[in-house]
Structure 1
Amino acid sequence: MSKSKRQMKLGAFFMIPGHHVASWRHPESAAEDVQQFHLYKRLAETAEKGKFDMIFFADGYAINDRLESAIEHTVTVRPEPLTLLSAISAVTSKIGLTATVSTTYNEPFHVARKFASLDHLSGGRAAWNVVTSSQNAEALNFNKNEHLKHASRYERAEEFVDVVKKLWDSWEDDALLIDRDSGRFADPSKVHEINHQGNWFSVKGPLNVSRPVQGHPVIIQAGSSEAGKELAAKTAEVIFTAWQTLEEAQTFYKNVKGRLAKYGRSHDELKIMPGVFPIVGRTEEEANEKQALLKELIPEKAGVGLLSALISYDLSSYPVDGPLPDLPNISEINGGKSRFQLLKDIADREQLTIRQLYQHIAGARGHREIKGTPVQIADQLQEWFENEAADGFNIMPPYLPGGLEDFVELVIPELQKRGLFRTEYTGNTLREHLGLKRPLSSFHIHNVYEKSIHS
């Protein structure tokens, strides 16, 4: 039994039909069902059976068709996540529901309204993974000729999140009266225009959805660049991140947690959850066989295409059995800077060819890959959790539904036996699962302050 009183947080990260770039070719994947609700219902119910804190869907707004491999060799169709999570909310009762929505190609009012609606429909289980889009291909789908520069994307994102929170607060918690006798549905003195005027947005408000069950749906952030870390320290309550070694993860953990105090936040108000790609076998031999099969399934073009997309640099003209070419300086990259640096570091550290690098990252996509028996998997998670490298993990099954079912049936019981993970849900909202406070409304705080200075 672990001596730790903390319990790790676990998210089930669904890349359909699995995180491995060739998962759709796996004989046990549900590739035919990627647009069918029954697959997502099964996955959500399995994750809830395993007592996961949340399920999570990534998203993007373009098919990266610069390389022909994208459409030909990889899965590029998926349901829109908020629509999907609204349906999943009806067939689950406890598990958190997380969707990626970009601040680059959306408006704050739309996003505030959608997440407030999901929070009400699910009884307080919504979470927003805040991202700044990283592909130039997305700009071309939104009436733009080129993608916003990295610094501008983060400036817009910071203001975007601020506006969304103001809109969630525009109805005070007790604004709804629903008094049939008096004919009063709501108290107008407790519904507020936000009148936001900023560099990026002008929004009058109020929202036409009352304050969410959780006050604010949980805010998640996934960037690990300097701008991303600062945005997370100021606004996020969970960080999804990617690290290969314990030392790297510890450095990141200490760095981000160390930024919280200047924003008046405590250590526990931000949960850091690195992504982990687990290959689980009942024996070491079985785990090795599963890993070997996945590597065999990768079409060369798909591997090169994935790697090119992740580092924002086209590698299609270079020999796959040669080294990475001389890459631009990170300051010249307008895509995901932290992922670019992470993959370049792996290639340099391990002296990998392009083929070896795409085989290395084809599953975890820059996150940590671990394999072994349930005991070995639990050992590796426990090491990071108990040595200030993580508050929990985002679990990335290699293929679905089997990869998730292996983790729930084999690894979760081992974590529970060690006292590292819950055996039952003790709350109903995602904030309760994660141990996060429900935020007070900014208008409530203002009203209390006004009363105090006039009393």
Structure 2
Amino acid sequence: MSTKKKQLKLGAFLPDAGHHVAAWRHPQAQADGGLNFQHYKRLAQTAERAKFDMVFLADGLAVWDRGQGKEAFSRSGQFSVHFEPLTLLSALSVVTERIGLVATASTTYDEPFHLARKFASLDHLSGGRAGWNVVTSSAEAAAKNFSREDHLEHALRYERATEVLEVVTKLWDSWEDDAFIRDKESGVYFQPEKLHIPNHKGQHFSVRGPLNVARPIQGYPVIVQAGSSEAGQELAAQTAEVIFTAQQTLKEAQAFYSSVKNRLAKYGRSPEHLKIMPGVFPLIGKTEQEAKEKYEQLQDLIHPSVGLGLLSGLIGGHDLTKYPLDGPLPDLPDTNAGKSRLQLIKDLARRENLTIRQLYLWIAGARGHRTILGTPEQIADQLEDWFVNNGADGFNIMPPWLPGGLDEFVELVIPELRRRGLFRTEYEGQTLRENLDLPRPVNQFAANAAAPELVSTLT
């Protein structure tokens, strides 16, 4: 039995100029970060030098103007224009060697064949370091970019997502790992018995296959999800290997952790094979006061229209302009957008008795994720508390501004985590799966074909 101390996992969530809604205005931020490859190259190499498990790129299929109008939107530099993430990660695969490369791609508007092909390609290009953050698009604006007037209903989006994953994994299993022998002497390029044609026919998709990319190096790229609704948790328990989530208190984190992990058994899965990694937004200072001053510096850069637009977007597009900024958040009905984040913000407003202005200031950095402030030791204390008390298996680090926020975490917090034995000093393996300690999936078609023979030998 291994006596090695359990260590936490870390992702570097790297958007544009940083996570704070006014990050691009920070004096040391890379304002054009969303379309600056050298910026992303530097960030990825910094995270790899620190032995992060992965870099993570979010994405959306519409300009996130939050319905606030051109004038107000013109003040927002966050998530407005940026590289398509799979294209960017393919480029970063050439300038990195061990760090995982995880991108968001939508099951609502992307086709399964496209998804399977792109992520299999990234896995081969990177030597087995690809991960797919499986999302159901929540932005109503995305529908109008894909020839639809109305967004798919929430339940239907998750129903479709489940079938997308089924089709994509079938396509990844089109070829067995050793199908391609490329024997020049015999003239045989691949072994025909090791080709499997999925021929999927379901409620939403009819996909013959096979995929025109060999089976990914990892079997499947690592499957990541971010949904925290009931439907999201169930899909994650069935299919996810990493969950990016948002909780505010250890009690909430423990409840989510337990809820998801306890669902795994009915799908024949082990709790160790799903890593729960809440987002955290760290402000680091030599003293706690210095950390607070850094936070206030960013808060002072927020224009009210930007803060109000951010809040409206996170609560499903509800128009808050008709309510007083210094009054309470009104009672809001559910929408057809993301449900878990709306509930989190409503709960926060009630629990802390926040006005609309206080609420948008509160979410301006972490957008509902947890903000932690303090010295490197205090930051490490807070991460360790959630990790050792079953609130998290690791964390998705959300630097306030970039590149400085990531540099500070690497230079100040990582050494403290290592001093406590909580984080690696070297990568354990070559692939993202190996570093996350996740099993490599078997080929479903090969396993099914072998089953009768196995039964025969046992009888």
TM-score range relative to shorter protein: over 0.9
2:291 counterpart of 1:287: yes
2:73 is aligned with 1:70: yes
8 Å CA contact retained: 1:4, 1:386: no
Normalized against structure 2, the TM-score is what? 0.97
Partner of 1:387: 389
Q: CA deviation at 1:242?
A: 0.1
Question: Which consecutive aligned stretches of 4+ in structure 1 deviate over 6 angstroms post-superposition?
Answer: none
CA distance in 2 between partners of 1:161 and 1:311 (Å): 27
Find the counterpart in structure 2 of residue 354 from structure 1.
Answer: 356
Q: Distance in 1 between matches of 2:370 and 2:33?
A: 27
Residue-by-residue CA offset, 1:94-116 (whole Å, 9 max, x unaligned): 00000000000100000000000
In structure 1, C-alpha distance between the alignment counterparts of 2:101 and 2:28, rounded to whole Å: 26
Task: Identify the residue that residue 125 of structure 1 maps to in structure 2.
Answer: 129
CA deviations over 1:249-302 (Å, ceiling 9, x no partner): 000000000000000001101000000000011222210110110110111001
CA distance in 2, matches of 1:430, 1:316: 45
Residues 192-228 of structure 1 deviation map (CA, whole Å, 9 limit, x = unaligned): 1101010011000100000000000000010000000
Q: Are the structure 2 counterparts of residues 178 and 230 from structure 1 closer, same or farther at C-alpha, using a change threshold of 3 Å? A: same
In structure 2, the residue matched to 1:227 is 231
Matched with 1:176 is 180
Distance 1:290 1:139 in 2: 38
Q: What is the correspondence of 1:400-439 to structure 2 with a 5 Å cutoff? A: 400-439=402-441
- Fraction of identical pairs, as percent: 64
Per-residue deviation, residues 141-200 of structure 1 (Å, max 9, x unmatched) = 000010000000000000001110010011001101111111111112111110101001
Q: CA deviation at 1:363?
A: 0.4
Count of residues paired in the alignment: 450
* Separation of aligned partners in 2, 1:133 and 1:318: 28
Worse-matched range after superposition: 179-188 or 206-215: 179-188
Distance apart, 1:387 and its partner CA: 0.1
Alignment partner of 1:44 is 2:47: no
Are residue 216 (structure 1) and residue 217 (structure 2) matched?
no
Q: Note if contact 2:245-2:278 (Cα within 8 Å) is conserved in structure 1.
A: yes
CA distance in 2, matches of 1:34, 1:243: 27
Q: Which amino acid aligns with 1:41?
A: K
Question: What amino acid sits opposite 1:98 in the alignment?
Answer: V
Which consecutive residues of structure 1, in runs of 5 or more, have no partner in the other structure?
Answer: none
User: In the alignment, does 2:327 pair up with 1:325?
Assistant: no
TM-superposition CA deviations, 1:377-409 (whole Å, max 9, x none): 000000000000000000000000000000000
Shift in Å, 1:350: 0.5
Superposition deviation, residue 5 in structure 1 = 1.4
How far has the Cα of 1:317 moved from its partner? 2.2
Query: AA paired with 2:180?
Result: L
* Residue in structure 2 matched with residue 87 of structure 1 by the alignment: 91
Structure 1 CA distance for aligned equivalents of residues 126 and 269 of structure 2: 28
The CA distance in 2 between the partners of 1:199 and 1:48, in whole Å, is 42
Q: How many angstroms apart in 1 are the aligned matches of 2:216 and 2:119?
A: 8
Partner SS, residue 239 of structure 1: strand
Question: How much has 1:4 moved relative to structure 2?
Answer: 8.1
Instruction: After TM superposition, give the deviation of residue 426 of structure 1 in Å.
Output: 1.8
Q: SS of the residue aligned with 1:73? A: coil
Q: Secondary structure at the match of 1:90?
A: helix
Contact 1:51–1:95 (Cα < 8 Å) also in 2 = yes
The match for 1:334 is: 336
**Residues 30-41 of structure 1: matches in 2 within 5 Å?**
30-41=30-41
- Partners of 1:286 and 1:144 lie apart in 2 by 49
Asked if 1:315 corresponds to 2:320, the answer is yes
Quick one: which amino acid aligns to residue 399 of structure 2? P
- The answer to whether the Cα contact below 8 Å between 1:220 and 1:236 also exists between their aligned partners in 2 is yes
Checking the alignment, whether the CA contact within 8 Å between 1:215 and 1:441 is kept in structure 2 is yes
Report the Cα offset of residue 454 of structure 1: 4.7
SS in 2 for 1:118: helix
**Counterpart residue identity of residue 356, structure 1:** Q
Shift of 1:73: 2.4
| Aligned counterparts of 1:42 and 1:435: Cα–Cα separation in 2 | 27
Q: Tell me which residue corresponds to 2:29.
A: 29
Contact 1:4–1:420 (CA under 8 A) maintained in structure 2: no
Distance across 2 between alignment mates of 1:215 and 1:70: 42
When the two chains are superposed, the root-mean-square deviation of aligned CA atoms in Å is: 1.1
Q: Could you say which residue in structure 2 is the equivalent of 1:196? A: 200
Q: Aligned AA for 1:252?
A: F
- 1:271 is aligned to 275
Residue identity matched to 2:142: E
The offset of 1:61, in angstroms, is 0.6
1:59 aligned partner: 59
Partners of 1:26 and 1:399 within 8 A in 2: yes
- Residue 243 (1) aligns with residue 244 (2): no
2:306 to 302, 317, 328: 302
The alignment's TM-score, normalised by the length of structure 1, stands at 0.97
Q: What is the distance in 2 between the residues matched to 1:310 and 1:14?
A: 19
Task: Classify the secondary structure of the residue corresponding to 1:138.
Answer: helix
CA distance in 2 between partners of 1:188 and 1:71 (Å): 57
State the partner residue of 2:13.
Answer: 13
